Amino acid sequence: MEADLTWRVDGVEHTLAVDTRTTVLDALRDRLGNTSPKKGCDHGQCGACTVLVDGRRQLSCLGLAVAHDGSEITTAAGLVDGDELHPVQQAFVDHDGLQCGYCTPGQVCSAVGMLDEVKAGHPSAVSDDLEADVELDEDEIRERMSGNLCRCGAYSNIVAAIEEAARA
């Protein structure tokens, strides 16, 4: 069975018909040609497919496309403003927060979403005081980014990049 849906992806509106079993990831990559989100595990375990859906980070391999009709979807490619990188992207470059780069789009989208969560005051499992403002230290960053895996092991540089972006 097919369903029609409309998305705004990286600022551009798209209308498409998809099989109701199609994931957000497959619709982005196969139907719209947006290869920024990567298909890593296809089981929601690696985070390579992380995108921002209506401003919140989401594993696109787990979400059904039809469940997000009318959504605003931002991929790592959509974070760029003209020729200027998003502050998180620039921090990843400055701190060498990538090696092979496969996980990087998901890491960047997750970091952007996570920083928004911190600004909103959302605590994590390692937050000392659930009522206080979140202090974004290394433990907080590692916990909040734990759903994004890097096979190359660039974690220390990723954490440093996120710390810098948080200060910006």
Residue keyed to tokens 């498409």: 16
18 and 54 share a domain? yes
Q: Which two tokens stand for residue 88?
A: 């998180």
Please compute the mean of the pLDDT values over residues 84-93 and round it to a whole number.
97
pLDDT at res. 133: 83
pLDDT at res. 132: 80
pLDDT at res. 128: 84
Categorize the per-residue pLDDT at 135 as very low, low, confident or very high, splitting at 50, 70 and 90: confident
Q: What is the mean pLDDT of the chain?
A: 95
25 and 68 share a domain? yes
Instruction: Please say which residue of 17, 44, 78 terminates a domain.
Output: 78
Please compute the mean of the pLDDT values over residues 78-84 and round it to a whole number.
95
Q: Per the structure, how many domains does the chain have? A: 2
Residue keyed to tokens 């029609």: 4
Per-residue pLDDT tens over the stretch 39-65: 999 999 999 999 999 999 999 999 999
92 and 69 share a domain? no
Q: Which two tokens stand for residue 90?
A: 């620039």
> Contact, 107 vs 97, CB < 8 A?
yes
Return the sign of the alpha-carbon dihedral for residues 91, 93, 99, 101.
positive
Please compute the mean of the pLDDT values over residues 145-161 and round it to a whole number.
95
Whole domain around residue 60: which residue ranges?
2-78
How would you list the strands of the sheet with 50-53, edge to edge? 12-19, 2-9, 72-74, 50-53, 56-59
